[in-house]
Amino acid sequence: MAQKLVVFDDFMGLAVFLLNSIGVVPYEKKGSSTSFKVWIYVSFVLNLANLSFGIWNAIVFIARKLKQNEEFFESIMVMSYLGFAVGAQCQIVSLWWNKKKLTSLVNQLQSMFPSRESDQQLYRARVYSDRAGLITKTYSALHVIVIQIYSLWDIAFYLLNWPNGTRSLPFAPDVPWVWQDNWTFYLIYFMEAFQGYSAVLGHMSNNLLIFNIATQLIMHFDYMAESIEKYKPQAHLSKDGYAKDLKQLQSWLIYHNKMFRLADQMNEVFGVPLLLTFFASSGGMCFLGFEITIGISPELMVKVAVFLATIVINIFLLCVFSQQLIDASTKISEAVYNMDWPAADVRYQKMLVVMAQRAQQPVSLRATIFVAVSMSTMTDFMQLSYKFLALLRTMYN
């Protein structure tokens, strides 16, 4: 039985579906109905309003507690949620703002995507699709666990101890009205649970788009490197051999420049969200680490540990994909060196040097102009988070 062909949506489908669930359409697709657009718009406004209410409520709670100089631990805990929620909201707004740019990027990637079976074998599209699918599904499952734990934990304890259970909220411990003994408890609990869902999906879906776009760029760079390395110069085989070599080199240069432009577009769209991710994650690790060091209950330790693991995995995967992009883009230079260039015309050899030199400038994920992401960024991130934690501990003591 013939294996099903890989399609472009195999890479992007899950991220788009999850973003649609919170009212975000990251890029335009043909055939969207009017009713779908209306539903998306209403969903986007409601989700953004709900998340904004949660952020405002958390800020008010923290300000009140710090002013009264009480419940410092609870304030720190809410700060970790606040940083995560603000980062998520900024990423959602950034995706909406850069919709046209992302649509242009996706359309170009889609036009380059190998659609025929023979081309997919050359590009090894199935390998990259399976790899991206495994990471995407595992990554999504982890975030589903986080959503379930934080959304259902408090209500589960309340129902298990009903009717004597204590009513508590999943994120901000209080709201500006009496809610403990009336029906508004269920309303505000649902609102906070959905705020958590929107925040987690804001971060997760944005990162999924980055992972899958980076995977496709890696696929193209790897295909180009393999094509260059296997190419046999024709100059010594026929009279028009040099012309054939020159034509092939020209196609490589055009392809290579297009890859660099696509990488620049990717960083233009995701640069600010990446920077926000690093800032929010560093602050989150600092606050969560502080909670662990001062001692917390076993049930709270589970929530904090899962949240902390999610933050670390987020940053680690961003660094991994960026490092793979760096390795794939610089592999072009190695491929030029490894090809059968001694058999080529001298003029052709000189032009190969230019391409090899261009390929030595690596492509990577960039958090604007401040951070070029690589595996070394993970070390810098952990060190920065630890410094913030040490400072917070000193202030607390």
Q: What is the pLDDT of residues 332-349, one digit of tens each?
A: 999 988 888 887 788 888
Output the pLDDT for position 163.
63
Output the pLDDT for position 69.
67
Task: Identify which has the larger pLDDT, 161 or 46.
Answer: 46
299-325 residue pLDDT tens:
778 888 888 888 899 999 999 999 999
Is the pLDDT reported for residue 169 higher than 60? yes
User: What mean pLDDT do residues 229-235 have?
Assistant: 83
Q: How far apart are CA 243 and CA 6, in angstroms?
A: 35
**If phi over 0 gives left and psi between -120 and 50 gives alpha, with beta otherwise, what is residue 124?**
left
Output the pLDDT for position 1.
44
C-beta of residue 145 within 8 angstroms of C-beta of residue 154: no
User: What mean pLDDT do residues 220-241 have?
Assistant: 85
Q: Whose CA is closest to 214, among 370, 326, 379? A: 326
**Rounded-to-10 torsion of CA 93, 95, 98, 101:** 180
CA-to-CA separations, 368 to 74, 177, 203, 276, 278, in angstroms, rounded: 33, 42, 17, 10, 12
Looking at every residue in the chain, the average pLDDT score rounds to: 85
Is the pLDDT reported for residue 221 higher than 60? yes
Neighbours of 148 (CB within 10 A): 13
Q: How far apart are CA 307 and CA 146, in angstroms?
A: 7
C-beta of residue 80 within 8 angstroms of C-beta of residue 58: no
Q: Whose CA is closest to 252, among 155, 354, 172, 160? A: 354
What is the value of pTM for the model shown?
A: 0.90
Residue 70: pLDDT band by 50, 70, 90 thresholds?
low
C-beta of residue 165 within 8 angstroms of C-beta of residue 159: yes
Residue 74: pLDDT band by 50, 70, 90 thresholds?
confident
User: What mean pLDDT do residues 8-35 have?
Assistant: 85
The residue written with tokens 């958390």 in the block is 58
Instruction: Mark out the alpha helices in 98-183 (DSSP H runs).
Output: 99-112, 117-123, 125-160
Task: Identify which has the larger pLDDT, 190 or 392.
Answer: 190
User: What mean pLDDT do residues 341-364 have?
Assistant: 84
Output the pLDDT for position 7.
87
Q: How far apart are CA 313 and CA 284, in angstroms?
A: 13
Residue 188: pLDDT band by 50, 70, 90 thresholds?
confident
φ/ψ of 367, rounded to 5, equals -85, 80
Strand, helix or coil at 362? coil
φ/ψ of 330, rounded to 5, equals -80, -15
Q: How far apart are CA 195 and CA 101, in angstroms?
A: 27
What length does the chain have?
Answer: 397
C-beta of residue 187 within 8 angstroms of C-beta of residue 251: no
Q: Whose CA is closest to 252, among 342, 333, 340? A: 333
Q: Return the top range by mean pLDDT from 40-44, 259-263, 386-390.
A: 259-263
C-beta of residue 373 within 8 angstroms of C-beta of residue 364: yes
Among the listed ranges 173-177, 209-213, 278-282, which one has the minimum average pLDDT value? 173-177
C-beta of residue 226 within 8 angstroms of C-beta of residue 332: no
Give the whole-number percent of the chain exceeding pLDDT 90: 25
User: What mean pLDDT do residues 11-22 have?
Assistant: 89
Neighbours of 168 (CB within 10 A): 15
